[in-house]
Amino acid sequence: MEDDFEVPTASDMEEDEMNNLENEPVDPIDPILKVGEEKEIGKNGLKKKLVKEGEGWETPDNGDEVEVHYTGTLLDGTKFDSSRDKGSTFKFKLGLGQVIKGWDEGIKTMKKGENAIFTIPSELAYGESGSPPTIPPNATLQFDVELVSWNSVKDICKDGGIFKKILVEGEKWENPKDLDEVFVKYEACLEDGTLISKSDGVEFTVGDGYFCPALAKAVKTMKKGEKVLLTVKPQYAFGEDGRPAVANEGAVPPNATLHITLEVVSWKNVSDVTKDRKVMKKILKEGEGYDQPNDGTVVHVKLIGKLQDGKIFVKKGHDEEPFEFKIDEEQVIDGLDRAVKMMKKGEHALITIQPEYAFGSSESQQELAVVPANATVYYEVEMVSFVKEKESWDMNTQEKIEAAGKKKEEGNALYKAGKYERASKRYEKAVKFIEYDSSFSDEEKQQTKLLKITCNLNNAACKLKLKDYKEAEKLCTKVLELDNKNVKALYRRAQAYIQIVDLDLAEVDIKKALEIDPDNRFADCWLFWFASV
Cα–Cα distance, 37 to 39 (Å, whole number): 7
Is 126 a residue of the active site? yes
* Rounded distance between C-alpha atoms, residue 310 and residue 467, angstroms: 40
Q: Which of 70, 90, 118, 325 is catalytic?
A: 70
pLDDT at residue 21 in the model: 40
DSSP state string for 303-321: EEEE-TTS-EEEEESSSSS
Determine the pLDDT at residue 526: 57
CB 282 within 8 A of CB 181: yes
Q: pLDDT for 86-116, tens place per residue? A: 999 999 988 888 999 999 999 999 999 999 9
- Catalytic entry in 126, 357, 379, 427: 126
Q: Is 21 helix (H, G, I), strand (E, B) or coil?
A: helix
Catalytic residue among 100, 162, 351, 401: 100
Question: Which residue out of 143, 211, 386, 440 is catalytically annotated?
Answer: 143
The CB-side HSE value for 249 (13 A sphere, CA atoms) comes to 18
Please check whether residue 145 is in contact with residue 123, taking contact to mean a CB–CB distance below 8 angstroms: no
Task: Check residue 22 and give its pLDDT.
Answer: 40
Task: Compute mean pLDDT per 10 residues along the chain, 533 residues long, and list them.
Answer: 35 39 43 87 94 92 90 95 94 89 95 96 94 93 95 85 90 93 97 95 96 96 95 95 92 96 96 96 94 92 97 93 92 96 96 97 95 98 92 87 93 93 92 87 93 96 96 96 94 93 90 84 55 49
Whether residue 106 contacts residue 120, with contact meaning beta carbons closer than 8 Å, is answered with yes
- Is 143 known to be catalytic? yes
Identify the pLDDT of residue 247: 86
Residue 449 confidence (pLDDT): 94
**pTM surpassing 0.75?**
no
What confidence score (pLDDT) does residue 527 get?
54
Catalytic status, residue 90: no
**325 sits in which H/E element:** strand 323-326
Q: Is 81 annotated as catalytic?
A: yes
List the catalytic residue out of 41, 64, 81, 509. 81
Q: Give which of 411, 513, 405 is closest to 450, Cα–Cα.
A: 405
Specify the pLDDT at position 521.
Answer: 63
80, 183, 378, 530: the catalytic one is: 80
The Cβ of residue 529 has, within 10 Å, a number of other Cβ atoms equal to 13
CA 27/CA 452 separation, integer angstroms: 54
Going from the N-terminus, what domains does the chain have, and what CATH number goes with each? 37-150 (3.10.50.40), 155-268 (3.10.50.40), 271-387 (3.10.50.40), 397-531 (1.25.40.10)
Catalytic (active site) residue 70: yes
Instruction: Name the burial class of residue 6, with classes exposed (0-12), middle (13-18) and buried (19+) by CB atoms within 10 angstroms of its CB.
Output: exposed
